[in-house]
């Protein structure tokens, strides 16, 4: 009992430190951009009324504030989805990007644009992304079945195959969309590599609500998720059908990813890297890991977006370039360690 309390206390301290770092990163995110806003000036603009800001304060309140908040929401969503998908797939290499969930959601959203439903942009894009994400998840799960059981290795290979197919289909759809309509020549970069340059206050409610609801659902199933890390027999011993639980889990993941992709495009590797960091800090317990992963993921994406805005300013690069630059070496390191362990 004392060990559990010690672990819980460590998790609280780790989460508190992560929240403090997140607060600092948000200040950096508000200051960064084509022009750097010094801290004293930023403070004066933050205390200015958001209802009637001056010209300088409007840059912070109308553009940078919703952008930073969207980074927080999307970073937390993708990280929480990463924890869940690695548990459901029982594979540390799994993440929404690699397993095709992001590609499916992206294709669904672009298809909505192609058929001309952008007048209902928020709801239509999210709905299209959700349908695409669920369809891609179903395809990957079916392809990964090996004699009725889910094979972790087939899961990764199936995800890569589905990702390539959906990426090609998305590219084709974008070619059919008028270049002067909804994003112009930057359309492909937005959907393929992710960007927060279009962030507005109206983009926040749907992904924020999805994150809150899905986080509560996952926390309510935390004990089952802990057991799922081991084997399906232990899950069945709790009176839970493991396949049905896995379907619920992947639906929750699809909701998180779809609501994120609809407003930011595809941002890769966040769901791969952050869950490993969180587990290293607080262990595999989902009640401790899920909130910490969300906070660390939010911090990571805020910093990545700030770097994307400033590294070649006044221009900015897609945030997915930064996350891929951090995530790809991490993926290779995990892959090498697993192959090395299998070889021994």
CA atoms within 13 A on the CB side of 150: 24
- Domain hosting 235: range is 94-266
Structural contact between residues 28 and 303, judged by C-beta atoms closer than 8 angstroms: yes
The 10s digit of each residue's pLDDT in 150-190 is 776 788 889 999 999 999 999 888 888 765 455 455 677 78
**Residues in CB range of 331: below 8 A, 6 or more apart:** 93, 98, 269, 272
DSSP notation for 157-179:
HHHHHHHHHHHHHHHHHHHHS-T
- Is 278 among the domain residues? no
Structural contact between residues 21 and 300, judged by C-beta atoms closer than 8 angstroms: no
- Is 54 among the domain residues? no
pLDDT at position 338 over 90:
no
Our measurement of the distance from residue 263's CA atom to the centroid of its chain's CA atoms, rounded to an integer in Å, reads 11
- Is 175 among the domain residues? yes
Instruction: Assign 241 a pLDDT band (cuts: 50, 70, 90).
Output: confident
CATH code of the domain containing 243: 1.10.3470.10
- Is 155 among the domain residues? yes
- Mean pLDDT, rounded, for 9-13: 80
Computed over every residue of the chain, the mean pLDDT equals: 86
- Is 195 among the domain residues? yes
**pLDDT score at 225:** 93
**pLDDT score at 49:** 61
- Is 239 among the domain residues? yes
- Is 44 among the domain residues? no
**pLDDT score at 6:** 41
Q: Coil, helix or strand for 49? A: coil
**pLDDT score at 116:** 73
Main-chain dihedrals φ then ψ at residue 46, nearest 5 degrees: -70, -35
Q: What is the pTM of this model?
A: 0.90
The 10s digit of each residue's pLDDT in 271-311 is 999 999 999 999 989 999 999 999 999 999 999 999 999 99
Element (H, E) at 296: helix 286-310
Output 1 or 79, whichever has higher pLDDT: 79
State how many domains the chain has: 1
- Is 110 among the domain residues? yes
CB atoms closer than 10 angstroms to residue 96: 35
């Amino acid at each position: 009992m004392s060990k559990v309390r010690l672990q819980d206390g460590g998790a609280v301290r780790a989460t508190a430190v992560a929240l403090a770092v997140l607060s600092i990163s948000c200040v950096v995110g508000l200051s960064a951009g084509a022009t750097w806003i010094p801290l004293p000036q930023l403070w004066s603009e933050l205390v200015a009324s958001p209802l009637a800001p001056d010209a300088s304060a409007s840059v912070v309140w109308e553009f940078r504030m919703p952008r930073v908040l969207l980074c927080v929401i999307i970073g937390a969503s993708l990280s929480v989805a990463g924890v869940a998908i690695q548990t459901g797939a029982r594979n540390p290499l799994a993440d929404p990007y690699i397993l095709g969930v992001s590609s499916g959601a992206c294709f669904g959203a672009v298809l909505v644009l192609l058929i001309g439903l952008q007048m209902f942009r928020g709801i239509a894009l999210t709905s299209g992304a959700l349908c695409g994400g669920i369809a891609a998840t179903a395809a990957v799960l079916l392809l990964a079945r090996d004699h009725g059981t889910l094979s972790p290795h087939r899961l990764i290979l199936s995800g890569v195959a589905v990702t390539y197919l959906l990426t090609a289909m998305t590219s084709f759809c974008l070619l059919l969309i008028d270049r002067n309509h909804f994003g112009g020549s930057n359309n492909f970069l937005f959907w393929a590599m992710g960007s927060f340059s279009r962030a507005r206050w109206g983009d926040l409610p749907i992904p924020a609500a999805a994150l809150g609801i899905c986080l509560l659902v996952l926390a309510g199933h935390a004990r089952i998720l802990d057991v799922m890390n081991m084997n399906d027999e232990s899950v069945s011993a709790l009176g839970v059908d493991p396949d049905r639980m896995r379907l619920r889990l992947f639906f929750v993941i699809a909701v998180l990813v779809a609501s994120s992709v609809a407003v930011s495009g595809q941002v890769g590797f966040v769901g791969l890297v952050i869950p490993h960091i969180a587990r290293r800090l607080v262990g595999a317990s989902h009640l401790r890991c899920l909130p910490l992963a969300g906070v660390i993921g939010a911090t990571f994406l805020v910093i990545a977006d700030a770097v994307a805005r400033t590294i070649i300013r006044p221009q900015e690069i897609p945030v997915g370039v930064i996350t891929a630059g951090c995530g790809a070496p991490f993926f290779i390191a995990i892959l090498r360690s697993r192959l090395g362990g299998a070889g021994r």
